[in-house]
Amino acid sequence: MMNNKRRHSRRRWLHLSAKKTLITIVLAVIMVAAISIYGIIIVNASNSNPEKSQTQRFYTSITVQPDDTLWNIADSYASDGESHQQYINAVKSLNNMTDDTIYSGQNIVIYYTK
């Protein structure tokens, strides 16, 4: 009688263990599928505007000339979709600047797009 209970208990444990394993595998497959689908959506979304995906940003250093201001540098280098203030803030960030003051002879890093 005791042996029979042990066998039944062991079978039940194996059955539950198999169920847990199956559930774990199914959840893992669902997660992988969801991540793959999400990745495909992101890639397709980034390629949906071919004009933007071909634009590249290039960085260079320039020497500030006597009459230069961040505003006229932005006027020369900011892209069409970017405001002068956005460009100036980005250049200030690139050069660890806290204000808009630049000096003749100073080298600053700027960017431009192609």
pLDDT digits 0-9 by tens, 38-82: 888 877 766 555 555 578 999 999 999 999 999 999 999 998 889
User: 88 and 44, same structural domain?
Assistant: no
What's the confidence (pLDDT) of residue 61? Answer: 95
User: 108 and 71, same structural domain?
Assistant: yes
CA distances (Å), origin 6, targets 2, 14, 16, 17, 19: 6, 12, 15, 16, 20
Question: Which range of residues forms the domain containing residue 65?
Answer: 55-113
User: 108 and 60, same structural domain?
Assistant: yes
User: 64 and 28, same structural domain?
Assistant: no
User: 73 and 108, same structural domain?
Assistant: yes
User: 107 and 66, same structural domain?
Assistant: yes
CATH for 64: 3.10.350.10
The answer for 69, left when phi > 0, alpha when psi is -120 to 50, beta otherwise, is beta
Query: How many whole angstroms separate alpha carbon 114 and alpha carbon 108?
Result: 20
pLDDT digits 0-9 by tens, 75-87: 999 988 899 999 9
Q: How many domains does the chain have?
A: 2
- pTM confidence score: 0.53
Backbone φ and ψ for 24, nearest 5 degrees, come out as -60, -45
User: 59 and 45, same structural domain?
Assistant: no
User: 64 and 35, same structural domain?
Assistant: no
